Amino acid sequence: MTTEVDRLIAGLSQRKIRDLARAITLVENGGPEGLELLARLAAGSSAGGSASRCEVIGITGSPGVGKSTMTDALIAAYRAAGKSVAVLAVDPSSPFSGGALLGDRVRMQSHSLDPEVFIRSMASRGHLGGLAAAAGQVLRVLDAAGFDVVLVETVGVGQSEVEVAAAADTTIVLLAPGMGDGIQAAKAGILEIGDVFVVNKADREGAQSTARDLRQMIAMATDGSTDGSQSWLPPVLTTIASTGVGIDEVVASIGDHRSWAIENGELERRRRARAREEVVATVVGMLQTRLNEQPLSPELEAVAAEVATGEVDVHGAASRLWKMIGR
**Residues between 56 and 115 with contacts to a copy of itself, criterion CB under 8 A:** 62-64, 91-96, 101, 103-104
- Choose among 143, 121, 183: nearest CA to 37: 143
- Choose among 8, 154, 27, 170: nearest CA to 87: 154
Q: Could you tell me if 254 and 196 are in contact, meaning their C-beta atoms sit under 8 angstroms apart?
A: yes
Q: Name which of 36 and 249 has its Cβ closer to a copy of itself.
A: 36
Residue 264 CB contacts under 8 Å (≥ 6 apart), including other chains: 230
> Which span sits near a copy of itself by CB under 8 A: 7-15, 16-24, 31-39, 241-249?
31-39
Site for a copy of itself in 192-221 (CB under 8 A): 192, 220-221
- Choose among 110, 53, 113, 119: nearest CA to 85: 119
Among 84, 137, 171, 210, binds a copy of itself (CB under 8 A): 137
Number of residues that bind a copy of itself (CB under 8 A): 92
Q: Name which of 11 and 92 has its Cβ closer to a copy of itself.
A: 92
Among 86, 157, 174, 250, binds a copy of itself (CB under 8 A): 157
Site for a copy of itself in 11-30 (CB under 8 A): none
Specify the DSSP class assigned to residue 292: T
Return phi, psi of residue 234, to 5°. -60, 125
> Which span sits near a copy of itself by CB under 8 A: 157-165, 201-209, 244-252, 258-266?
157-165
The rounded distance, in Å, linking the Cα atoms of 275 and 42 is 13
Residue 41 binding a copy of itself, by CB under 8 A: yes
Q: Name which of 32 and 80 has its Cβ closer to a copy of itself.
A: 32
User: Closest separation between CB of residue 244 and a copy of itself, Å?
Assistant: 22
> Site map for a copy of itself, 245-284, x if CB under 8 A?
-----------------------x--xxxxxx-xxx-xxx
Q: Could you tell me if 18 and 112 are in contact, meaning their C-beta atoms sit under 8 angstroms apart?
A: no
User: Closest separation between CB of residue 61 and a copy of itself, Å?
Assistant: 10
> Which span sits near a copy of itself by CB under 8 A: 14-22, 145-153, 186-194, 251-259?
186-194
Based on DSSP, count helices (H) and strands (E) in the chain, helices before strands: 12, 7
Residue 242 CB contacts under 8 Å (≥ 6 apart), including other chains: 66, 69, 73
User: Closest separation between CB of residue 232 and a copy of itself, Å?
Assistant: 15
Among 178, 206, 245, 260, binds a copy of itself (CB under 8 A): 178
Angle between helix 296-308 and helix 314-325 axes, rounded to 10 deg:
170
Site for a copy of itself in 281-310 (CB under 8 A): 282-288, 291, 300-301, 303-305, 307-310
Amino acid at 198: V
What angle (nearest 5°) sits at the alpha carbon of residue 50, between those of residues 48 and 51? 145
- Choose among 194, 172, 176, 195: nearest CA to 184: 176
Among 4, 11, 45, 244, binds a copy of itself (CB under 8 A): 45
**Strand ranges (E), 239-300:** none
* Beta pairing partners, 156: 61
> Which span sits near a copy of itself by CB under 8 A: 3-11, 18-26, 71-79, 183-191?
183-191
Residue 136 binding a copy of itself, by CB under 8 A: yes
